[in-house]
Amino acid sequence: MSAAVIEVEDLVAAYDGNIVLDGISFAVHAQEIFVVLGGSGCGKSTLLRHLLGLHKPAAGHIRIFGTDITAVSEDELQPIRQRIGMVFQGAALFNSMTLAENVSLPLEEYTDYPPRVIQDIVDWKLQLVELAHARDYLPSQLSGGMKKRAAIARAMVMDPDMIFFDEHTTGLDPVMAAELDRTILRLRDQLKVTVVVVTHDMTSIRRIADRGIMIADGKIVAQGTIREMEQSSDARVVNFFMRHDEGARRRGAPAASISGRSIHGH
């Protein structure tokens, strides 16, 4: 098995003394697509913020690429954070800038590459997410799925080793969600990035996840492959899968026929 790039050990996360995550431990390996499951408010976004070093844990340790980020200064954190791309729930593009300008922002901010080089990198990243044709569009001219892919291109522009997604398919129709999942699989396969995804979207989970954890009541209540998690007899886990698989079926995607990696190679 490849090396662990994220190691979380007995993490306790709290806001003003209210404990949200209570002693969580897991590891994510290089080039895995790792999914974080759990009901609304269980602490998934909180976990991502801790992994990015935006919040300090109340207790426990988080090692990213081998460095304990709970023990380093903000200055030492910066180079680690630059190796992580983050795709937030809203695509958060600047409306007055073209797609290419939006994607070039991190390069403008963090590098002193000449404009020609920046253009080449941006065009290559847009090609990866199949948006090369739309480089001069304004965000208002993009569909919801295109905006998400643009946000991925921007998160990828600094060549991160790892990319985090928070609810990546929310608000997308099933076709756009499938396209986005295909993009994520391609990034992992071609650019060898490690992916951490927070989502409730069962269809997407079954398409892309290698392994993951489910959080409830501040603890990990299931972990492993999706198949392993599904076999849990914990009522919270059983209910989660039942409810979300049912939701996926109602939206017109029969869960049973899309498990595994059938999307690969299309």
- Residues interacting with ligand ATP, by CB under 6 A? 15, 20, 38, 40-46
Q: Report residue 230 as tokens.
A: 């599904």
Least separation in angstroms between residue 77's CB and ligand ATP is 19
Q: What DSSP assignment string belongs to 77-91?
A: HHHHHTTEEEE-SS-
Least separation in angstroms between residue 7's CB and Mg ion is 22
Least separation in angstroms between residue 207's CB and ligand ATP is 20
In the DSSP assignment, the letter for residue 161 is S
Strands 59-64 and 67-68: antiparallel
One of 19, 23, 29, 45 touching Mg ion (CB under 5 A):
45
Say if CB 99 and CB 142 are below 8 A apart.
yes
Strands 84-87 and 18-29: unpaired
Q: Which is nearer to Mg ion, 14 or 138 (CB)?
A: 14
Least separation in angstroms between residue 191's CB and Mg ion is 26
Greatest extent of the chain over all pairs of C-alpha atoms, in Å: 57
Residues 241-260 that bind Mg ion (CB under 5 A): none
Please give the Cα distance from 97 to 211 (Å, whole number). Answer: 37
Of the candidate spans 41-49, 127-135, 199-207, 219-227, the one that interacts with Mg ion by CB under 5 A turns out to be 41-49
Q: Report residue 35 as tokens.
A: 């999914």
Q: What DSSP assignment string belongs to 33-61?
A: EEEEE--TTSSHHHHHHHHTTSS--SEEE
Least separation in angstroms between residue 134's CB and ligand ATP is 29
Instruction: Give which of Mg ion, ligand ATP, none residue 60 binds (C-beta under 5 to 8 Å, depending on kind).
Output: none
Q: Which is nearer to ligand ATP, 40 or 140 (CB)?
A: 40
Q: Which is nearer to ligand ATP, 38 or 85 (CB)?
A: 38
Least separation in angstroms between residue 215's CB and Mg ion is 11
- Where helices occur in the chain by DSSP H, the ranges are 44-51, 74-81, 99-110, 115-128, 144-156, 174-191, 202-208, 226-230, 235-250
Q: Report residue 113 as tokens.
A: 């590459």
Q: Which is nearer to ligand ATP, 156 or 197 (CB)?
A: 197
Instruction: Give which of Mg ion, ligand ATP, none residue 190 binds (C-beta under 5 to 8 Å, depending on kind).
Output: none
How many residues contact Mg ion, by CB under 5 A? Answer: 1
Instruction: Give which of ligand ATP, Mg ion, none residue 46 binds (C-beta under 5 to 8 Å, depending on kind).
Output: ligand ATP
Write out the residues near Mg ion by the rule CB under 5 A.
Answer: 45
